[in-house]
Amino acid sequence: MKDIINTTMTQVLRDPGVGDQTVREALHELLRQLRPSGNAKSKPTPDLQQLLDRTVALAARSRTGYVLRWIEHVESVGIAPEQVELASRLLVAHLLDEGFHRNHVHGWLVAQGRKVELAAVLRRGREMLVQSRRTFTFCVGVVRAPLEVREALKEHWLDSDTYTKRFRAANNPKRRPVPRAGAGAIEWSAEARDPHAAMYELLEWQQKLVARVQLGYGQGDKIEFEADVIDATANKIRTPLEDRRSIRVPAIQRSRLFVGGADSGQRLDGAIGLLASHSGEIRGASIASVWAAAEGLLGRPGGKGTDVADRLSDIITCSFPRAEVGDLARAWADHGSGELFDALQGLPSADQARLMAEHLANAGDPGFESAADRAAAARYIQLAADPVGVLERVRNYYNSVCRRLYYHRNFIMHAAKFDSVTLGVSVRTAPVLVAAALDRVVNAEQGKNPVSPLALAARAQNELSLVGTTGARPLHLLLD
């Protein structure tokens, strides 16, 4: 409670979407009073319940008109360069929390073009927000399914001929092949903000059905779905799996660690297996498996879960500068020009990162065309100018996600609580960050001088504590 409330209090004061200064201060004060003091547990007294009700009511009040207040802030005050990151995080998170899928938000933002003013973009976003959820209906082809499952689906079950005819009649822009005759199809509907969000709900529903069939029959292959579905609402062929966010550990490919066993270490094999079992659709299982992967590598006997979360965030934070500047160096080496372009050619990645870091710190953006590259360059320039402040802020972001992952694991494993309002947020953000930390762990264990996961975490903590001092390492070499 302390951790969550402290994080929220900090964010509330910085967020103009919550309300004007008086509203933000009022919500901040309510949160302060809710925060437990000392080690005593909060008792559910009538006064505390009233305080909680007031906090929930004010937070709900702030949610209504959130984007409108941001529009007013942008038009009256504007966005300073150091606020760009905060504004983008809060506004996009609001759209995602309101039920829009990340692919839809990304496509919508790209469609706005590069020269549209921020206030105009936000007004269009608000128009999108006030629209009601729509009903989407899909026809899902089934390759095989037991008779009992088909009978349980009742009127939602379609025969194979009906499904094939609908597939042929649907718009098929990617020219997906017509499936062979299978067991039939399922007609399924959901209310969602956009087609991508609806397909995410479809994937979650499919995996729940597969899990029940697997346990009911003791076999995982009793039911199988076609990869493509018919979006009956738009009469279009879609592929739901394209909307799943894959997680990746590139160090496995770089080091060719495709064969496990004794040489790779049982703990690492176990962590990789747990992370590979992650599925963003069955949320509780995802949280449990992702946290188990992290704890298996970075936990100590008798230690606290928050310690594991802190080690995760330390490793990720130390990796952040190298990841940013390394990507920028590769981008300029491929598509840049001038002296920096010539200097980058043929160099090892470490030297490329060093040259790019020095250029950004001393001369600024060399002229990236991609908006993503320009944003990354701006982040690194800010980092070079204020390494202590920026890394502390970045670490707080990561630490909030990692601790929330731990808390949700406890909710699920110890309290059987699967309905937390922030469970979806944790599934959205935590697995990718844990994969990033695991990537650094694999990289460290496979180096010339192997470093264990806990030793890597200790090194990360040391390097972060030295940033800003005369003993600090270069930002792009914090873990190298």
pLDDT digit string (tens) for the chain, length 480 residues: 888 899 899 999 999 999 999 999 999 999 999 988 777 666 778 988 999 999 999 999 999 899 999 999 999 999 887 788 889 999 999 999 999 999 999 999 989 887 889 999 999 999 999 999 999 999 999 999 999 999 999 999 999 999 999 999 999 998 999 998 889 999 999 999 999 999 988 988 988 898 889 899 988 789 999 999 999 999 999 988 765 667 788 888 877 777 765 555 778 888 888 887 765 545 666 788 899 999 999 999 999 999 999 999 999 999 999 999 999 999 999 999 999 999 999 999 999 999 999 999 999 999 999 888 998 999 999 999 999 999 999 999 999 999 999 998 888 888 777 777 778 788 888 888 999 999 999 888 887 788 999 999 999 999 999 999 999 999 999 988
pLDDT computed for residue 54 by the predictor: 96
Q: Do 210 and 351 share a domain, yes or no?
A: no
Q: Give the pLDDT confidence score for residue 124 in this predicted structure.
A: 94
Same domain, yes or no: 153 and 262? no
Residues 33 and 82 placed together within one structural domain of the fold? yes
What is the predicted pLDDT for the residue at 426?
82
Domain final residue pick, 216, 243, 270: 243
* pLDDT single digits (tens) 14-61: 999 999 999 999 999 999 999 887 776 667 789 889 999 999 999 999
Q: Are residues 232 and 337 in the same domain?
A: no
Phi then psi for residue 367, to 5 deg, are 120, 40
Q: Are residues 452 and 337 in the same domain?
A: yes
Which of 65, 96, 130 is where one domain is finished? 130
The CA-atom distances, in angstroms, between 379 and each of 146, 325, 336, 358 are 54, 10, 19, 14
Q: Residue 474: which domain range? A: 247-480
Residues 423, 88: Cα–Cα separation, whole Å: 21
Question: Is the same domain home to 461 and 392?
Answer: yes
Q: pLDDT tens across 358-369, in order?
A: 999 999 999 999
Question: Are 227 and 287 in the same domain?
Answer: no
Q: Tell me the whole-structure pTM to 2 decimals.
A: 0.84
Instruction: Give me the pLDDT at residue 249, please.
Output: 85
Question: Do both 272 and 231 map to the same domain?
Answer: no
Residues 401 and 283 in one domain: yes
Query: Buried b / exposed e across 422-445, counting CB within 10 Å, b at 16+?
Result: ebebbbbbbbbbbbbbbbbbbbbb
Q: How far apart are CA 246 and CA 313, in angstroms?
A: 21
Number of folded domains in the chain? 3
* Residues 123, 129: Cα–Cα separation, whole Å: 10
- What is the model's pLDDT at position 197? 92
Residue 96 shares a structural domain with residue 7: yes
Task: Say yes or no: 45 and 138 in one domain.
Answer: no
Last residue of a domain, one of 243, 262, 279: 243
Average pLDDT of the chain, as a whole number: 89
Residues 334 and 422 placed together within one structural domain of the fold: yes
